[in-house]
Amino acid sequence: MSASLSGPGSATQTPGREPARSGLPRKSRDARYHAPITLTGLVVKVVLLGLVAGIAIWAAFPLIEAKYWVGLAILLATTAGLFYLYLTPQHIPAKYLIPGTIFLIVFQVFPVLYTASTAFTNFGDGHRGDKSDAIVAIQSSSVKQVPGSAQYPLSVATKGDPTTGPLVFLVTDPKSGTVSIGDADGLKALDAGQVTVAPGGKVTAAEGYTILNFGQASARSKDITDLVVPTSGGALRSSGLSRAYEGTAVRAYDEGCDCIKDSESGKIWTADESVGSFVAPDGERLAQGWKVNVGLENFSRVLTDPNISGPFFGTLVWNFAFAIGSTGFTFLLGMGIALALHSPRMRGTNLYRMVLILPYAMPSFAMLLVWRDMFNTDFGLVNNLFGLGVDWFGEAWSARLAVLLVQLWLGYPYMFLVATGALQAIPRELTEATSVDGATPFQSFKAVTLPLLLVAISPLLIASFAYNFNNINAIWFTTEGGPFPADNPRSGATDLLITYTYRLAFGAQGAEYGLAATVSIFIFAIVAVVSAISFSRTRRQEEVYS
């Protein structure tokens, strides 16, 4: 009996030995996990891998041109790894995980890291390129026409819309007849077969370009005047709409002293690598600078500079009030309506629910614009309906109240829907048991319904808080951050940190991307800390009521 149990194929395990494995050969076992390759699957794999190879080749050339060898090595290693992964039958889980991981790195991790790195620089208007770009810009902007300056027939062209596209100069050398095209990057000769030149040397047609007529050029006369084309001897600038001259730069870079010298005034601006600018002895900085690492300067400015820290902390307080108020008020209203419709005595609940979720079904940006008009002082529905004369968006507190009311109308349907679902998951036996014990409806709600409701929707409340903390649409489409104090057009009474950051990055006074990135890091840190604390409290709450 014992011999038969311990024979071949028996499940009995001999002490000190590993359990018996399947009797199938290894190749047979592996075959169970690999489906046969179909023609469709093979075609899809070839197309996708070809696309990967194409993207890799396309991305390699800029990296080689910039001599960014680390990036090129990462690109090659990633491409080789993908080909190895999808051309071999092993590593099945990785075949599904790697694409998602790559997209996570490209669209989430990389933007966060780039934003963080930008926060430690002076990147912005006047500090966008490197030092050589700044030198070229300084010299080109100081070009003046002098006696004997070469003159060229000029045509203005663009590859895009004649009214908005980037402009280029098409000039003809009167001596050689060579036609060249110039932009802010310099001058480049064109083949004779690519252009048509009229008698006198003016270009009337160019392959791939649209020549601006007199009316179009006149409408963009400022853009034409501002365009400077660097050349070896100075720079090309327009003289009217049909002529260009090669002027001489008044300001030139001297490598010996690492400075810019003005040949007319004799003034000198020395390079200061700590600020990325050329600075004169009297403290004057040239407008054209370069991007440098400034360490924690931006963080220090946000926390200590009165012109920035005051608006920042004031905006932060209102930001918390807006996020908490928007989330709290919409939750209370949505939960109240859900409780009313959850009552078994309520009739026509389906009709009420359909009507009550209409604000949620409307495009939010369109509704925000409608509400902005409804709060208009002169013809708005709110003032006319209630006989008021309130300048809703003209005063700080009335504007904040208006924004919260708009958010209440837009946000309660979502809370109503989630509260309705959570209420339906709570057994009625629990509330009925409290009634039998003599509890009032309010006591039953407080002791049973509300705690269980919060356990279910606390994560959604946290997500709603994070969303409203960065709800740029709610502010931008209603008040645009206003009203603004007379002494600070950058920070308004209803500005959130996100709208304040947007104005810093793209404001009319000049973009400050480094400072805006710093504020973005503060926003990220605040939301992350609040969310982490809230989730930890939610977990403890779940343990109590589980």
Residue-wise pLDDT for 122-148, tens only, equals: 999 999 999 999 998 898 888 888 787
pLDDT band at 394 (very low <50, low <70, confident <90, very high): very high
Burial 63-87 (b: 16+ CB within 10 A, else e): beeeeeeeebeebeeebeebeeebe
Q: Report yes or no: 453 and 420 within 8 Å, Cβ to Cβ.
A: no
Burial 396-422 (b: 16+ CB within 10 A, else e): bebbbebbbebbbebbbbbbbbbbbeb
**Rg of the chain over CA atoms, in angstroms?**
34
Query: How confident is the model over 154-203, as pLDDT tens digits?
Result: 999 999 888 899 999 999 988 888 999 999 888 899 998 889 999 888 99
Instruction: Please tell me the distance from the alpha carbon of residue 128 to that of residue 117, in angstroms, as a whole number.
Output: 14
- Evaluate whether the domain defined by 132-272 bears CATH number 2.40.430.10: yes
**What is the residue extent of each domain of the chain?**
36-118, 132-272, 306-545
Query: How confident is the model over 491-528, as pLDDT tens digits?
Result: 899 999 999 999 888 876 688 999 999 999 999 999 99
Q: Report yes or no: 236 and 187 within 8 Å, Cβ to Cβ.
A: yes
Instruction: Please tell me the distance from the alpha carbon of residue 506 to that of residue 213, in angstroms, as a whole number.
Output: 32
| CA nearest to 225, candidates 203, 252, 247, 250 | 247
Instruction: Please tell me the distance from the alpha carbon of residue 197 to that of residue 460, in angstroms, as a whole number.
Output: 67
Choices 3.40.50.300, 1.10.3720.10, 3.30.300.20, 2.30.110.10: CATH for 306-545: 1.10.3720.10
The pLDDT value given to residue 7: 43
pLDDT band at 91 (very low <50, low <70, confident <90, very high): confident
Assigned token pair, 360: 């949620």
Instruction: Please tell me the distance from the alpha carbon of residue 135 to that of residue 236, in angstroms, as a whole number.
Output: 16
Q: Work out the percent of the chain whose per-residue pLDDT is above 70.
A: 92
